[in-house]
Structure 1
């Protein structure tokens, strides 16, 4: 099944370059969702994930996982890495992408469609890196949380009959990858009201890319490199000194008086640009934006090598939203 879906994916990518039809993009995305489900099933049965990568930037791993999840537009990524070229070694890149996609699928499935899912990338000394996923969903009761933690710990054996009907495999898949590749996953209550899931990548699975390797243009830049807010100029705000009171008392706090701001110079009519928010987007522009997102995430896939053996066909495959989440109530 994985092999057939990979062939369909390649054909859809060729069609996208020949025809400007947003429906082709929607077909490609649904094919990606089906591919993720078959890949997760293979992992649950201790099969090879089916993709081989080179050393891959951590931030591009996040983008690749985001592109595999329904509701990807709700996922907001904050990059707090000290080194933006921090990367996963080849053997751990695809497993981490699969695990993060399952965590994101669970977060989007069990939170309101109008809320965001926050992903934060952090780097911690010699202890590796962390991917923190926060949702504002419905949360989990104590029994469900204990069961989720047991699955995420990577038990040596998982029975499908223990995963519900239809089987909710997300946490079990992450647990298998934790057991095989050595990273760690923990879940707890989130300060945003839902759940917080933390994927910890140990230092021995990390590397730094050479400078000649370009990063995806869609990868968010580290927060530390962003421009800091400008300090108000003295002409806009001044501090008026207050006389020192007699009797040795503590001086009063300085008071501020605000000057009227200078009017901005009028912009010549010849260079005035139209307001972007008032210009409606055409279907072609919307399709181009989606294509740009896909092109960026494809940079993180770097498919090489033959696909894994086909997984058993599941004729009663449940709806994608139903099988994405795990035992949250």
Structure 2
């Protein structure tokens, strides 16, 4: 599906776009680059082309100061298109702010960041999975064919002795049995070489597919002459202090339960914390943290967060944290918090905080 979309819309992606981040109340635009990265093995197809075993879209954001960061798995889900009236409003501001920014220079910077930070993780993930799978396959193939070779070796010797004794088998002779054993040996060696080639992995250079300019909601508000959002907690991220307290409270709760949490909030992967379960190697708890300050009535959840929760229903937790006067007043875990996907055009959805809080439970 991705290949079909890229084939059809690649030129359009290269033209660029302007998107709006409604959660960002800052005033500084940033660039979002989307890259395709592939990993090949040692095989080639009939036309001499390398065999790609993994292909992944990666996203890099670069601010106006040139700082790059991983934008997560699907950051575009949390952004919306620029409205017609906003285009005229933004034109002079963007021209003044972004004057001198060269797309090709930023592309090179995005590729450099991806090579340094994203490609190694993709390669190691594929290598670990692929090598384990290939080695398992090699063991199974070797076991099966070795047994067949041993059978036909034994059968060839048995028939040879019978032929020397004057007992000729009308159905098969020793030469045919020996030929069969040799064919199986050649087949085993060929298959082992092919599997070794499958283990010979190498990353290909990332390729920039397109880019977008991401405009923060705060800049649009200022250009319209509007003040900050009126309702406390409308976007569930009132201040950096509230966010910090909420994250610390959940991280502490996870450690107290015997889990091993890791902060991944900057990666925007649909949750804020990956919590490893020591008793179940390889399994993770995915926790999205939402802080609440006094007076908040709603909590905003992004489209990316909702889709992640629906895709990982048994492992996803929405952690609600009440913060008042600089202190955490309570933590609740809500499992299976969302019942359906947001509308196609929605970048985020507002939920009643008290209703979610009532469905929650003590961390466990």
Q: TM-score normalised to the size of structure 2?
A: 0.21
State which structure, 1 or 2, has the greater radius of gyration over its C-alpha atoms: 2
**1 or 2, which has the higher strand percentage?**
2
More helix by share: 2
Of structures 1 and 2, the one scoring higher in RCO (CA 8 A, sep 6+) is 1
The normalised TM-score by structure 1 is 0.23
